[in-house]
Structure 1
Amino acid sequence: MRKLLAATGVALLVAALTQMHPAAQDSAAEAVKAADTARFTAQTTNDFGALGRLLGDDLVYTHSSAAVDGKASFIDSMRSGTVKYESIEPREVQVRVYGTTAVVTGAGRFRVTARGQALDNQLRYTDVWVLRDGRWQMVSWQSTRVP
């Protein structure tokens, strides 16, 4: 019985700590949306400093081709010119915030040159952001081509 009461107490405490006032939640969602937009801008302008700040060191970036990159390999592919994000046009972007974690879903047109081949992809995507040291960082990306 004590274990059950202790587990219930911990669950209630965690729930209380992760609850956000609606205004704070809206503010956090706007901050995440701005960070996501800044990341897209950094990708299309090869702003590696901004990408270094916006991407978590533990990033798992799953491309629509099913290739997977970490932070270093993702940035290195752009730095080397292997991949060039020509333009990114997001739409249908929604942000849901759960305490210090946010899930972004959206769609968009991604024009990319990869290994010399021009690609014009319509994608649906999900990315995950976490609040660390007062700033949002993307830690996961998964995209799927729209047929």
Structure 2
Amino acid sequence: MHRLLVATGVALFLTVSVATAQPTGVAQPTGVKVINDAGTSAAEAAVRAAELARFKAQTTGDLKALDALLGDELVYTHSSAAVDSKASYVESMRSGALKYQTIEPRDIQVRVFGTTAVITAAAHITAISKGQPVDNQLRYMDVWVLRDGRWQMVGWQSTKIVP
């Protein structure tokens, strides 16, 4: 199932046109394109809102909100190639091994396919990981599914942007 999910996400990433919008509720980065709300479907707007709510939960340590936004079968692949499940990812935040300080997304592109959505974007992320400061510029893709009327993230894959 995991391989199928990743393969599907990659295929969608490579073949589908994009829509962009300016994020709200998270630090506003420069260079973000603004799109008229009329050009964004309700589903795209809902997925984008869930993404930004996830970033807020990560930076504020709101693990209850984060738990609701992550699917139980989450596969979270960090830019270091380390892989977490939902349980291990949330535990790393609960224990203090991982503490997000800022997440500044840009170029968020949401594609919705029925009850599945793929986001591609870039982000500047600062954190403390195992006591060490982390300052990463990343490109990422994540996959969301609609369940019981709410969007949950089930896949994350990020890659460091090399200057």
State the TM-score bracket (shorter-chain normalisation): 0.7 to 0.9
* Structure of larger gyration radius: 1
Structure 2 distance, partners of 1:118, 1:145, is 15
Give the TM-score normalised by the residue count of structure 2: 0.75
Aligned pair partner of 2:52 in 37, 43, 52: 37
1:131 to 142, 146, 150: 146
3-state SS of 2:41 partner:
helix
Shift of 1:87: 0.5
Which amino acid is the alignment partner of residue 60 of structure 1?
V
Structure 2 stretches lacking a partner, 5+ long: 1-37
Q: Which whole-Å deviations, capped at 9, do the CAs of 1:100-130 have from their partners, x for residues lacking one?
A: 0000000010001101110110000000000
Q: TM-score, normalised by structure 1?
A: 0.83
2:160 aligned residue: 145
Deviation at 1:41, TM superposition (A): 0.3
Identity of aligned residues (%): 65
Counterpart for residue 55 of structure 1: 70
Picking from 73, 97, 106, the partner of 1:91 is 106
Any stretches of 5+ residues in structure 1 without a counterpart? 1-22
For residues 58-113 of structure 1, what are the alpha-carbon distances to aligned partners after superposition, in whole Å with 9 as ceiling and x for unaligned?
00000000000011100000010001001000000000000000000000100011
Could you give the per-residue CA deviations for residues 20-46 of structure 1, whole angstroms, max 9, x where no partner exists? xxx8x7100000000000000000011
Find the counterpart in structure 2 of residue 17 from structure 1. Answer: none
Greater per-residue helix proportion: 1
1:108 alignment partner AA: A
